[in-house]
């Protein structure tokens, strides 16, 4: 009888093991964890045709990427694309990435300044964990016909557009408003006490502003529809959203705030327990070719760190970019430094307090 029980247990164990084997990756497969738009179908098809490697794409965002990798201790994907400021902290805390072998990457494809900056921001214990891919900014999307006076984050709360402004209640809004109020939150990253003080000041002003806010937007589509229907005339948002709206309504576009747009760089990282590094390197070298990078810019709306790709980007997008970013606005961009571990929780409490108020 006991034998029978043991046998049942053994059979169950074998079953579970078999399932695990089947769910594991096949050798000639690249499991890519990225943002929507970063792996357009035509690019994937071309890569598969050239290398014979199947690409399985999963769309996500920064927080989800990190959470997914944390849950599996870095398994399940061969290549991921968190922003460069979200690499050092999670690596220190959860060890979910592995170092990049730069000799496997054709560094001549990268804009040198972006590559160097990203390498610097993603170095832990002397090893580089990230290389740049797509960059962009957060700032203001403004309907210039109705809210032409909005030039900085703080202007959203000047009272003249009450009930017609929107923002996303996430960490960029705290940082943007801090800059707009004349503080430097990035400099305070290393000093939690000072950072908390800054956040408290920002929270105070945002709570006061809350009556003017029509809604805190959640998804990009939601924001775009409220601006195109005229329900919202000025909002804090990503640059691509503004340019997308500009295609339909020339009055609406992205405005780089006078205290500086917030610059982010989405990068490439190797998950700690990725199984196909070779394919990952191949993908990086493939998509950084100027023509391919331009295709990704076309799909995602943001420019890449690929040297010379601008030549292949559509004139409309280039015109929109130049309109939003005169040279001094580019120089003025505040690039996100690496987020130290534990900062998110601090910010989360402040965001909760803002939402719960009123």
Q: Residue 105 in contact with residue 280, Cβ under 8 Å?
A: no
For 342, counting Cβ atoms within 10 Å of its Cβ (0-12 exposed, 13-18 middle, 19+ buried), the class is exposed
Range 3-22, binding another protein (CB under 8 A): 4-5, 8, 12
Q: Which stretch binds another protein (CB under 8 A): 139-147, 182-190, 236-244, 349-357?
A: 349-357
Q: Which stretch binds another protein (CB under 8 A): 107-115, 228-236, 291-299, 327-335?
A: 228-236
67 sits near another protein (criterion: CB under 8 A): yes
215 sits near another protein (criterion: CB under 8 A): yes
CA distances to 15, 50, 208 from 258, rounded to whole Å, are 61, 45, 22
Residue where the block lists tokens 């806010």: 213
> Would you list the DSSP string of 52-96?
--EEEEEE--HHHHHHHHHHTTS-S-SEE--BGGGTHHHHHHH--
- Of the candidates 284, 266, 287, 265, the one whose C-alpha atom is nearest the C-alpha of residue 276 is 284
Q: What does DSSP say about strands 79-80 and 29-34: parallel, antiparallel, or unpaired?
A: parallel
The least distance separating another protein from the CB of residue 160, rounded to whole angstroms, comes to 18
Q: Which strands make up the sheet holding 29-34, listed edge to edge?
A: 54-59, 29-34, 79-80
Q: How many residues bind to another protein according to rule CB under 8 A?
A: 40
The least distance separating another protein from the CB of residue 217, rounded to whole angstroms, comes to 10
Per-residue contact track with another protein, 108 to 137, x per CB under 8 A? Answer: ------------------------------
As a whole number of angstroms, the distance between CA 145 and CA 142 comes to: 9
Q: Residue 84 in contact with residue 130, Cβ under 8 Å?
A: yes
Q: Which of 101, 149, 231, 291 binds another protein (CB under 8 A)?
A: 231
Sign (positive or negative) of CA dihedral 205, 163, 166, 325: negative
174 sits near another protein (criterion: CB under 8 A): no
Q: Which of 24, 45, 92, 187 binds another protein (CB under 8 A)?
A: 92
Q: Which of 26, 113, 200, 357 binds another protein (CB under 8 A)?
A: 357
189 sits near another protein (criterion: CB under 8 A): no
73 sits near another protein (criterion: CB under 8 A): no
The least distance separating another protein from the CB of residue 352, rounded to whole angstroms, comes to 5
Q: Residue numbers of the site for another protein (CB under 8 A)?
A: 1, 4-5, 8, 12, 63-64, 66-67, 70, 90, 92-94, 169-170, 210, 213-216, 218, 222, 226, 229-231, 341-342, 344-345, 347-349, 352-353, 355-358
């Amino acid at each position: 009888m006991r034998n029978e029980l043991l046998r049942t247990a053994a059979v169950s164990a074998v079953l579970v093991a078999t399932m695990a084997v089947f769910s594991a990756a096949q050798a000639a497969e690249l499991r890519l964890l990225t943002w929507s738009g970063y792996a357009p179908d035509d690019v994937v098809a071309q890569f598969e045709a050239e290398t014979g490697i199947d690409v399985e794409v999963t769309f996500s965002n920064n927080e989800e990427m990190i959470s997914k990798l944390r849950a599996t201790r870095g398994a399940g994907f061969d290549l991921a694309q968190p922003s460069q400021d979200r690499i050092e902290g999670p690596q220190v805390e959860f060890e979910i990435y592995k170092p990049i072998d730069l000799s496997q990457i054709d560094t001549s494809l990268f804009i040198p300044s972006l590559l160097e900056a990203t390498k610097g921001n993603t170095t832990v214990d002397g090893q580089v964990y990230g290389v740049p891919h797509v960059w962009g900014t957060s700032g203001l999307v403004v309907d210039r016909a109705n809210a032409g006076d909005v030039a900085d984050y703080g202007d959203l709360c000047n009272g003249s557009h009450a009930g017609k402004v929107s923002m996303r209640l996430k960490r960029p809004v705290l940082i943007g408003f801090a800059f707009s109020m004349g503080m430097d939150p990035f400099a305070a990253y290393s000093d939690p006490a000072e950072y908390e003080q800054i956040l408290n000041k920002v929270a105070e002003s945002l709570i006061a502003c809350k009556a003017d806010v029509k809604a805190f937007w959640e998804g990009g589509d939601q924001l775009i529809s409220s601006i195109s229907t005229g329900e919202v005339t000025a909002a804090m948002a990503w640059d691509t959203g503004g340019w997308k709206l500009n295609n339909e309504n020339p009055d609406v576009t992205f405005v780089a705030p006078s205290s500086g747009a917030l610059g982010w760089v989405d990068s490439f990282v190797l998950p700690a327990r990725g199984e196909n590094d070779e394919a990952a390197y191949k993908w990086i070298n493939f998509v950084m070719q100027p023509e391919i990078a331009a295709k990704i810019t076309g799909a995602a709306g943001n420019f890449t760190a690929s040297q010379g790709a601008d030549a292949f980007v559509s004139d409309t997008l280039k015109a929109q970019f130049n309109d939003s970013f005169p040279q001094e606005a580019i120089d003025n961009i505040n690039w996100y430094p690496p987020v130290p571990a534990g900062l998110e929780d601090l910010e989360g409490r402040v965001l909760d307090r803002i939402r719960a108020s009123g």
